[in-house]
Structure 1
């Protein structure tokens, strides 16, 4: 009869090895995407840099677009833990804040802090979407996820009673979604050289002026 303790140990070891391989693949892919772009990065090269077999890469990620999305998710979250952004501590802190302007300020402080790492990955997906259907679907997924997040944020702001009269939830959502777009960071920071802190303050002031009394 096989030893159940040994089976559990072997399973645990395989799971930890799979997690380690995933971390190495994501680290390798992140570096290659930033250095060579989406089209210039090949899955065998990712495998080589990660020190794993190319089959291991495809087992973890169905294709290059899926890998790009995973790089984006990890970069946005700051780790590879199975905790959605909505469940993160900084979101809980924003939800607990009673003042709408402060909520917006807290969120934009966070966005400005992560944008230098996150936005280039978004722009890779956007630019790859023109030539790669799988990348196009990943880009659409990124946009949908942002729209969903801004829908929840708009509802949170409306609940404070500090939103301008006449603005519906969809109006507030669309303002948030527009200013949240990577195009704002691309124009102001990448093209015009603004520091992220100035970019965050600009968005904060613009959103407050647009939606709050």
Structure 2
């Protein structure tokens, strides 16, 4: 039995459509699980939340959860990466905002804006990781890696500031470490969570503090 080119083409188109439908369903399932995880983690914390509870909230089976994310740890990592990325696909994509010529002050302002946006989206995720890392060694590894990624992103942004625009005696490495501490989830937690700063106030504080700590008075 042989098939005509038209029949083969129709078969290929059908398979392509099936694949697109399947991919869309998988994306929808992963997204629903992320949304359910956010609600359950926020209400019960990482340790007390079960995969059964998350799956039920998403309207899927536990087996589907494991197929989509592998584990509760994988789901927490996925939730955190989604919260950090926002409209960006990765830290590298976020760093591309800072490509090209920018004044030192514009670079500092851009970093403050980026950190403020991430801090608001990822506040729950950071607190979940901090608490879970105290009792789960695997989460501790993920927590350390997330800090390394954040440090690396800040290093790439700070590297674009000319050395002569940095405060006297401040190297790019030291400037990166300083910015990493100032523009941190802990700062957001203290100022927004403890003192009631709104996002605009935190953004303004981050800009002022980074500018004072990193740049010479004449840098623009």
| TM-score w.r.t. length of structure 1 | 0.88
After TM superposition, give the deviation of residue 76 of structure 1 in Å: 1.9
Whichever of the two has the greater Rg, that structure is: 2
User: Is this contact kept in 2: 1:189–1:199, CA < 8 A?
Assistant: yes
Q: Which whole-Å deviations, capped at 9, do the CAs of 1:2-57 have from their partners, x for residues lacking one? A: 72222222222211111111111111111111121111211111111111111111
User: Is this contact kept in 1: 2:111–2:157, CA < 8 A?
Assistant: no
After TM superposition, give the deviation of residue 152 of structure 1 in Å: 0.5
After TM superposition, give the deviation of residue 125 of structure 1 in Å: 0.1
Flag structure 2 segments of 5+ consecutive residues without an equivalent. Answer: none
After TM superposition, give the deviation of residue 71 of structure 1 in Å: 0.7
* Match in the other structure for 1:107: 111
Structure 1, 17-26 or 165-174: larger mean CA deviation: 165-174
1:37-186 equivalence runs, <5 A: 37-78=45-86, 83-88=89-94, 91-96=95-100, 98-158=102-162, 161-186=164-189
The aligned length equals 208
Flag structure 1 segments of 5+ consecutive residues without an equivalent. Answer: none
User: Is this contact kept in 1: 2:107–2:157, CA < 8 A?
Assistant: no
After TM superposition, give the deviation of residue 65 of structure 1 in Å: 1.9
Find the aligned partners of 1:87 and 1:114 in 2 and give their Cα distance. 14
Structure 1, 106-115 or 140-149: larger mean CA deviation: 106-115
Find the aligned partners of 2:113 and 2:143 in 1 and give their Cα distance. 24
Q: Say if 1:166 and 1:133 are closer, same or farther in 2 by CA, change over 3 A.
A: same
| TM-score w.r.t. length of structure 2 | 0.86
Find the aligned partners of 1:198 and 1:156 in 2 and give their Cα distance. 26
Q: Which whole-Å deviations, capped at 9, do the CAs of 1:116-144 have from their partners, x for residues lacking one? A: 33122111101110101222122112111
User: Is this contact kept in 2: 1:158–1:169, CA < 8 A?
Assistant: no
